[in-house]
Amino acid sequence: MPKVLLLNGSPDAGGCVAAALEEMVKVFNAEGIDTEVVHVGNKTVRGCMGCGACGKLGKCVVDDVVNEIAAKFEAADGLVLGSPVYYGSPNGTLLALLDRLFFSSGFSKQFKVGAAVVSCRRGGNTASFDVLNKYFTISSMPVASSTYWNQVHGFTAEDARKDLEGMQTMRNLARNMTFMMRAIADAKAKYGVPELERGAFTCFADGK
């Protein structure tokens, strides 16, 4: 059974982001997809120190929620990142977590399906959406889309639920994500996965 890990990056466990993710979970459950929602926006998460210890340990040297999430991420077939908009960008706590999560975890993320969901009162949604999608596109993760950008509008969870197009977008996103995970599983069984080249690293500091 495919599994989706959903990260709520809002400090409010029952806010607008939660309302959006709950709408997705309803569809996933109806489709027989296993889900786990983890509230991370209320955690104390420091940013990456650039120490490089994860290259030897296979995990972040700071043993906190990041390593807990990494184990769940490795076991999942899909990842949904949900965030409120702060000053035209995702929540800083979530970004600190994602920087360390994606950099320190050594497992392959290839063909895990990613989806970003953002919530705002008024503006900054597409900029935040773009920031979150970059974690997927640097990791060989296909990005799930919907019938509009994956966003809801409102100041409270009830506001977000009144955003009927936003809720519709969440449901369509979950359906598309479900289809992609199933199709990828079938393709892996039939064709395997493409080889990923490694080794080339552009750096002009040495003049080459």
Task: Provide the whole-model pTM.
Answer: 0.95
| Other residues' Cβ atoms within 10 Å of the Cβ of residue 94 | 28
**CA 108 – CA 151 distance, rounded (Å):** 28
What local confidence, expressed as pLDDT, does residue 1 receive? 87
pLDDT exceeds 70 at position 84: yes
What local confidence, expressed as pLDDT, does residue 203 receive? 83
Query: Residue 133 phi/psi, 5° resolution?
Result: -65, -25
Strand partners, 92: none
pLDDT in tens, 131-162: 999 999 999 999 999 999 999 999 999 999 99
CATH superfamily, domain at 3-191: Flavodoxin domain (3.40.50.360)
pLDDT in tens, 175-207: 999 999 999 999 999 999 999 998 898 888 765
What local confidence, expressed as pLDDT, does residue 207 receive? 55
**Length of the chain, please?**
208
Strands (E), the chain: 3-8, 34-39, 78-86, 89-90, 113-120, 151-153
What local confidence, expressed as pLDDT, does residue 201 receive? 87
The residue ranges of every structural domain in the chain are 3-191
Percent of the chain with pLDDT over 90: 95
pLDDT in tens, 7-33: 999 999 999 999 999 999 999 999 999
Q: How confident is the prediction for the chain on average, in pLDDT?
A: 96
106: which residues sit within 8 A by CB, 6+ positions away? 54, 58, 59
pLDDT in tens, 34-61: 999 999 999 999 999 999 999 999 999 9
Its sign, for the CA torsion 168, 174, 180, 186, is negative
Contact 90, 58 (CB under 8 A): no
Using CA atoms of 202, 204, 206, 208 in order, give the dihedral in degrees to the nearest 10.
80
Contact 168, 158 (CB under 8 A): no
